[in-house]
Amino acid sequence: MGRLENKVAVVTGASSGMGEAIAKLFASEGASVVAMARRKERLDDLIKEIEAGGGKATAVAGDVTIEEDVQNSIKTAVDEYGKLDIVISNAGLLDQMTPVADVTDDLWDAVFDVNVKGPMRFFRAAIPLMEEAGGGTFVTVSSLGGIKCGIAGSTYIASKHAVLGLAKSVAYMYADKNIRSNVIAPGAVMTEMGQTSDTSERGMERAQLTMACMPRMGEASEIAQLALFLASDESSLVNGAVVTADAGWGAG
Ligand code: NDP
């Protein structure tokens, strides 16, 4: 019996990196997965792979900044699989390591729209359903940069702090409704994120100073294992927690 048998999960940012790893692991543990992101072809490949392994998954091509797409993801879970137990808010956007003196309003708004307002839209849409069903659980992917350090662009760091506060407010506000909300704070993880050369010179220079004390890069599959624990009933007493997954980088 899988650790998520009979559960229905929506995973955002499932077209690559951690979201893709989470979708695959959850399906292999018995969950029915709604995989959401903008790149449809990537999602279609993911669904094929999950189905070939005997799992259940449906793709929703959509953008977490568009309310209708968020609603559609939740509706797909209910229409296809009858309910919604788990939401993994993982989709995220970097800010090219931009220091605050160079931040434009457009950059700030775009990053907050994905990293903070995206999860808020999912909380807002899913909580009434979970309340009615008697419970549910959320896992939000913040960052080590959301709890203690400022090693990235100013907007990204601010957004990852903000989403952590949002997730904690959900944890407390709905604890009496059997709804849990926990946060993963990854250190550096090997994914497509950050594989761009379009970064601020100053931002990169400052960030690189801290690399010497990073024990190692993480793998997306390691984040997926943590998401699995936090999404499953095994973590029934864990609510409002922020769990770092950084090989000890933040302890340095
Ligand atoms: P990836 O770039 O591999 O994945 C990001 C995912 O987010 C993609 O699937 C992308 O899909 C999706 N996404 C981006 N914008 C939107 C949007 N507007 N609507 C829907 N989906 C969107 O990076 P990671 O797997 O590394 O990132 C996952 C999370 O982990 C992010 O929140 C990131 O901030 C966080 N994180 C990453 C770290 C790292 O070192 N990699 C460290 C700490 C935190 P598509 O383009 O198809 O829409």
Confirm whether 251 is domain-assigned.
Answer: no
Mean pLDDT (the chain) is: 96
Q: Say how far apart CA 62 and CA 12 lie, in whole Å.
A: 9
Closest residue by Cα to residue 189 from 143, 139, 227: 143
Distance CA 181, CA 151 (A): 25
C-alpha of residue 176 to centroid of ligand 1, in Å: 31
Please tell me if the CB atom of residue 143 comes closer than 6 angstroms to any atom of ligand 1: yes
CATH number, residue 101: 3.40.50.720
Is 3 contained in some domain? no
Distance CA 136, CA 177 (A): 9
For residue 189 and ligand 1, the question of a CB distance below 6 A is answered with: yes
d(CA 74, CA 125): 7
- pTM score over 0.75: yes
| pLDDT per residue as tens digits for the range 43-89 | 999 999 999 999 999 999 999 999 999 999 999 999 999 999 999 99
Query: Is 182 a member of any domain?
Result: yes
User: Ligand 1 centre from 80 Cα, in Å?
Assistant: 25
- Quote the pLDDT of residue 204: 86
Domain tally for the chain?
A: 1
Assign 179 to helix, strand or coil.
Answer: strand
Residue 28: pLDDT over 90: yes
Range of the domain at 26: 8-245
